[in-house]
Amino acid sequence: MKILADAHIPYLKGAIEHFGEVEYLPGNRFTKETVKDKDVLIVRTVTHFGEEILAGSSVKLICSATIGYDHIDTHYCDTHGIAWRTAPGCNAGSVEQYVTASLLILAEKKGFDLRKKTIGIVGVGNVGSKVESACKKLGMQVLLNDPPREEREGNADNMFVDLETIKNESDIITLHTPLTKTGKHKTWHLVDEDFFNELDKKPILINSCRGSVTDTQAWKKAIKKGLVSGSVIDCWENEPHIDTELLEMADIATPHVAGYSADGKWTATKMTLENLCDFFHFDIDPVKLMPPVPPPPNPIIDLKGVSPEKQTLCAVLHTYDPLKETKELKKSPDKFYYFRSHYPLRREYNAYTVINADPTVADLLKQMGFTV
């Protein structure tokens, strides 16, 4: 079996070789020529896989080490005998870490109390549900919008609200939908000029799902008109050629790395190998083939001398500070793909131990996943 794997997928080398002959290439070098004689593709979201690449190839299976699949032409694959698999929920904890860090940073920067704010979560799947849990632990009021889930599950307990309520009542709106361009619940440019014009409370807007869920030009207009009070952007239209004007306007701007924790990447690779085993009926446990996730360089967080009101911020930023990537990306936007491909994977909360925390803060940090 011939396998072509993205060279930037962590924890894959040394494990995938048990399944066949493997070639590694950067994601942007997957072409019609390089995939034509391959049976399996192990991919990220860098390249679009449709007829332009897959036609006439031997590809039987595409495994994406990501939660999304808008980079795969699923209709073409389904009608041409090419199976495709993803890793749903693999990076939910990492994206939650990104959103939490961003919320704490902006609360500090803009001088507001998260416990007095309402956050609207649009898209409540694996990631959105994790964000919901985190925001409730931080004491925020939470509104949930997910029309597909509402259709499937009903809304007897008023769990979900419509998008109008999100626009009317949210101080912060965070987006966690897949990107769908057609259908009843399409999300392409869900946040457009009309959306911004209908906002009541000048909210902070966070996009860490897919770039084209938001309309870049409309977002820039909204910032200039004062329709939003803050912008956090991890996912961009036209990556890696992002809009530099919007980049400069954003409070936090990162190169599509919200989901880039070592924990999330390890899980994604495990799920990818499980998908491969399932498709070809291999009786192999991928975990036994994979290396463990390495510990962080500074696993102890000592909060001695930090005021209680700043301890949560201090602990979270010790694990991840998105302002570092913001500074680098604003300085060199042309290096978007380089930053994303060479990102030093961070660890999530469970890799850290907190000492000398205020008892109330210690309880919160323990709930968040830290060892206290």
Q: What is the 3-state secondary structure (H, E, C) of 60-89?
A: CEEEECCCCCCCECHHHHHHCCCEEECCCC
* Res 293 pLDDT > 90: yes
Closest to 43 measured CA to CA, from 58, 15, 23: 23
Tens digits of per-residue pLDDT, 125-159? 999 999 999 999 999 999 999 999 999 999 988 99
Both 145 and 66 in one domain: the answer is: no
Q: With 90 as the cut, is the pLDDT of residue 326 above it? A: yes
- The four Cα atoms 6, 12, 16, 17 give a dihedral, to 10 degrees, of 90
Domain contains 210: yes
Structurally, the chain folds into a number of domains equal to 3
Domain membership of residue 294 (yes or no) is no
Query: What is the average per-residue pLDDT within 101-118?
Result: 98
pLDDT tens-digit readout, 1-21: 999 999 999 999 999 999 999
CA distance 146 to 151: 9
Model pLDDT, residue 183: 92
Residue 120 has a pLDDT of 98
Do 265 and 188 sit in the same domain of this protein?
A: no
Q: Is residue 295 part of a domain?
A: no
Q: Is residue 138 part of a domain?
A: yes
CATH of the domain at 355: 3.30.1370
Mean of per-residue pLDDT scores for the chain: 96
Residue with tokens 């619940």: 185
Q: Where are the beta strands (DSSP E) in the chain?
A: 2-6, 21-25, 40-43, 61-64, 83-85, 118-122, 141-145, 172-175, 204-207, 230-233, 252-253, 300-302, 353-355
Residues 232 and 307 both lie in one domain: no
pLDDT confidence of residue 68: 84
Q: How far apart are CA 47 and CA 59, in angstroms?
A: 15
Q: Please state the three-class secondary structure of 113-162 as a single string.
A: CHHHCEEEEECCCHHHHHHHHHHHHCCCEEEEECHHHHHHHCCCCCCCCC
φ, ψ (nearest 5 deg) of residue 352: -120, 145
Q: List residues with catalytic annotation.
A: 210, 239, 256
- Is residue 172 in a domain? yes
Establish if 293 belongs to a structural domain: no
- Compute the distance between CA of residue 310 and CA of residue 131 in angstroms, rounded to an integer: 21
Please, is 221 exposed, middle or buried when counting C-beta atoms within 10 Å of its C-beta (0-12, 13-18, 19+)?
Answer: middle
- 354: three-class secondary structure by DSSP: strand
pTM over 0.85: yes
Q: Please name the residue that has the structure tokens 């291999």.
A: 282
The boundaries of the domain holding residue 326 are: 300-368
Both tokens of residue 214? Answer: 């938001």
Query: DSSP letter at 181?
Result: -
- pLDDT beyond 90 at 31: yes
Whether 202 and 184 share a structural domain = yes
